[in-house]
Amino acid sequence: MTTIADLHIHSRYSNATSFQMELPTLAEGARRKGIHLLGTGDCTQPDWLDTLSSDLVECSDGIYSFDGISFMVTGEVSLVWKHDGKGRRIHIVLLVPSLDDAVRIHEALSPRGNLVYDGRPMLGLSAHDFCEIVWEQSPETLLIPAHVWTPWYAVFGAKSGFDALEDCFGEYTDRIYAIETGLSSDPPMNRRVSALDHLRLLSCSDAHSPAKLAREATLFDVVDVSFEAISRALKTGDGYAGTFEFYPQEGKYHYDGHRSCGISWSPDQSMAADDVCPVCGKTLTIGVLHRVQDLADRTEPELGDVPFKSLIPLAEIISQATGVGVQSKTVAKVYDAMLDRHGTELGILLEHSLDDLVADTPERVLEGIAKMRSGDIHIDPGYDGVFGKVEIPFER
């Protein structure tokens, strides 16, 4: 059975997150998007952890249910420390075997930082010490470096990261089995770095609102959905079946640049200027593509046999097809009608034939889906916190 999983999200207890990120809305959003397994997010935040403990029902080993949607206990933390004289800041995603394990992890981390203020807490711990604390409480918890290439708070980020996992995790490096690619990179980019070949590539939405669920996801081909099965797939590749991806150019850190100066440059342009902004004279924010090129030892990726598909959210396609804003009533009306007729968003984007979608689908929306599937699109790459702009070249 193929399971579509979105394991890195946030609850309403995270800063800059919608108050709609509650269990009923998350379950409904997952159902409409086509997600089978959703991360809870924010499992170290005590109020959210209380909600999860009271409202979720365990339905199999480490998997919980709410309103017909399966959940796995997950969270994210921000680590800030100094290593070799340089300030380091990285995010780590936790995949936790049970709510009981999450409670123990919460209790062990509580003296280390304010776990109430933010669902993604900031802790003054090194990655090595964090691993030690978590694994002492829950040896089976998986720790996955989050959005590993982004400039800020990422293990390979230009601002405060490292050039190798070993430099960050030390003796615990061999217990890191997967990395999260983030919105601004995709599997071909990551597979240009041979040192990462042994790692599974996790793709997740990092959603802060229900509309952003499933903009990226990971597929698992497992007989029974359980924490053990998902863990085994990420550790060994047995049951790991690929990913759904944002087009990486659309991510907000794909290119280098300066948002305040309006500078968006490719790595080659930046390197030609010694990474200095021509407007203000300060160092550019070095993006994901640049960092990949810095660490790559291949000119072409070695992808192996694990598939991936790139997508554009359906609401964005409808918005461009109709010429109105993505949050407009017109877009919502077309979106709802398509889901009522054809099922889930991911099914519409990636599974149904175009002939199946003809009924009740506006002609230009159908054209937009076809162009997305073929990659016949143009994207002005994102940079320095600005999302890229997708343009679908409609012919009619």
SS3 track for 193-236: CHHHCCCEEECCCCECCHHHCCCCEEEEECCCCCHHHHHHHHHH
The H or E element containing residue 231 is helix 227-236
Local structure of residue 119 (DSSP, 8 states): S
> CATH: 3.20.20.140, 3.40.190.10, 3.20.20.20, 3.40.190.170. Which one for 2-250?
3.20.20.140
For 307-362, the pLDDT digits (tens) are: 899 999 999 999 999 999 999 999 999 999 999 999 999 999 999 999 999 988 99
Task: Provide the CB-side half-sphere exposure for 284 (13 A, CA).
Answer: 32
24 three-class SS:
helix
For 169-203, the pLDDT digits (tens) are: 999 999 999 999 999 999 999 999 999 999 999 99
Q: How confident is the model at residue 69 (pLDDT cuts 50, 70, 90)?
A: very high
% the chain with pLDDT above 90: 97
Q: Is the pLDDT of residue 370 over 90?
A: yes
For 124-133, the pLDDT digits (tens) are: 999 999 999 9
Rounded CA gap, 185 and 255, in Å?
A: 11
Pairing of strands 69-83, 86-96: antiparallel
Q: How confident is the model at residue 396 (pLDDT cuts 50, 70, 90)?
A: low
Annotated domain spans of the chain: 2-250, 313-376
**169 closest CA partner among 260, 88, 85:** 88
The H or E element containing residue 288 is helix 288-295
DSSP notation for 85-105: TEEEEEEEEEEES-HHHHHHH
Average pLDDT of the residues in 249-272: 97
Residue 304 has a pLDDT of: 80
Q: Is the pLDDT of residue 103 over 80?
A: yes
Type of residue at 375? G
Kindly state the tokens that stand for 229. 């099965």
Residue 305 has a pLDDT of: 73
Kindly state the tokens that stand for 230. 């998902």
Sign of CA dihedral 135, 136, 139, 141: negative
Do 283 and 276 touch, CB atoms closer than 8 A? Answer: yes
Which whole-number Å values give the CA distances from 362 to 355, 359, 369, in the listed order?
Answer: 13, 9, 11
Q: What is the mean pLDDT of the chain?
A: 97
Average pLDDT of the residues in 215-240: 97
At which residue do the structure tokens 């990659």 appear?
375
Residue 365 has a pLDDT of: 97
DSSP notation for 145-179: E-STTSSSS-TT-TTT--SSHHHHHGGGGGG--EE
